Amino acid sequence: MGYNGAMTKVLFFNYEYPPLGGGAANATSYILSEYTKIPDLEVDLVTSSIDPEYHIERVGNNVRVHRVPIGKNKKNLHFQSQKELIVYAWKAYFYAARLARKNKYDLTHSFFSVPCGFLSLIFKYQFSLPYIVSLRGADVPGYSDRFGFIYRILTPLIKSIWKKSEFVIANSKGLKGLALKTKTEKEIGIIYNGVDVDKFRPDAALRSKDEFIITIGASRITHRKGIDYLIRAIKKVSRQHPNVRLKLMGDGNAREEFEELVKQLDLQNNVEFLGRIPREKTPAYYQEAGLFVLPSLNEGMSNAMLEALASGLPLVATDTGGTKELVADGKNGFVVKMKDPDDLAEKIEKIMDDEDLQKSMAEASRQLAENISWEQVAKRYFELYKKVSDE
């Protein structure tokens, strides 16, 4: 990136990092990879281990990944329980405190307001380290129905974490808007997620000829993703299009329930649960598909949608998180009503029935993706680091 100057040292907190976690984990991985190209930056990430051991991994010459054991159940790598988050916070604190005593950091950077932002708040007082918080979704009050009670308890703490930070950064306009509903006085900036346009790209040779494949990308299989509404929409579409096939990458706590719904609707030939797919194998699943659908009830900036965009897929998505930034209605996809299988089915069929529309939308998606890169994301965060460390 062409930077030269004083070294900036950052202590980074994120409780999830591949193979653990979802979108925030993958975003962290991409950003750290870009950080290896910045010679004036050193980063120590403190994250979770997937086994009972502590581990240290190197990414390039200037990034270290420290994994602390949290009693992780390997059968559910996508989802972290409240107990696991508490264990992470406890162990990460003591581990990171040793790092902070040994290394002269300029600041800390936390993905998620809690528990990571709380660690940054503690380190601000204990080690006089300023900090940046990146909002990722579930850490913003009101994002997930599952955390309704917890939000009521934690909102005052979350607002305090934001207030005492140097910068609070959301990954979409939608997430920023949700954060502002807490009546926080803190200014909230936006740095969108990026996408690897070399790894994720169209490949006509892999496109399925016999089936029309729909993907929602590598995703958590949870109620928040609205997958049950998509399954019901597939039932409607399959009546006129028996060759439609929904392929679901990922795992999660609602998978068994959705598998049962598929059986009830007699869709075993139209819906396939692939389970967790290794990151390096996900591009081919986008390339064989003809359409990406995200019927989510809430999102930040979906990494899966960005990957689909770069893979040259038309997009059908609900109006949440970063949808309006990535879906130009009628140009590269359609924005659909939330919790509405009928609207989903109608828009899916509209794309399936028009090959010219498929082609024009695919081209528009790829064109948009080429203007979004992880290099730009890393560059903007590094600029914030310099602002903080130079103060």
**Position 96 pLDDT exceeds 60:** yes
Q: What is the pLDDT of residues 188-207, one digit of tens each?
A: 999 999 999 999 999 999 99
Which of 280-312 are b and which e, b meaning 16 or more Cβ less than 10 Å from the residue's Cβ?
A: eebbebbbbbbbbbbbbbbbbbbbbbbbbbbbb
Fold of 204-369: Rossmann fold (3.40.50)
Q: Do domains 8-194+373-390 and 204-369 have the same CATH topology?
A: yes
**pLDDT at 2 exceeding the cut of 60:** no
Contacts of 329 (CB under 8 A, 6+ apart): 335
User: Of 70, 79, 17, 71, which is closest to residue 45 (Cα–Cα)?
Assistant: 17
Under the banding of pLDDT at 50, 70 and 90, the label for residue 133 is very high
| Residue 132: closest CA among 9, 29, 1, 12 | 12
DSSP conformation letters of 267-303? -TTTEEEEE---GGGHHHHHHT-SEEEE--S--SS-H
Query: At 244, which amino acid appears?
Result: V
Residue range 8-194+373-390, CATH number: 3.40.50.2000
Distance CA 149, CA 253 (A): 19
Q: Of 275, 288, 271, 273, nearest to 234 (Cα)? A: 271
**What are the structure tokens assigned to 76, written together?**
């559910």
Domain boundary assignment for the chain: 8-194+373-390, 204-369
Distance of alpha carbon 224 from alpha carbon 211, whole angstroms: 27
Mean pLDDT over 353-379 rounds to: 94
Question: So what's the pLDDT on residue 5?
Answer: 66
pTM confidence score: 0.79
Q: Measured at the alpha carbon of residue 233, what is the angle toward residues 229 and 239, in degrees to the nearest 5?
A: 155
Please, which pLDDT band fits residue 1 given cuts at 50, 70 and 90? very low
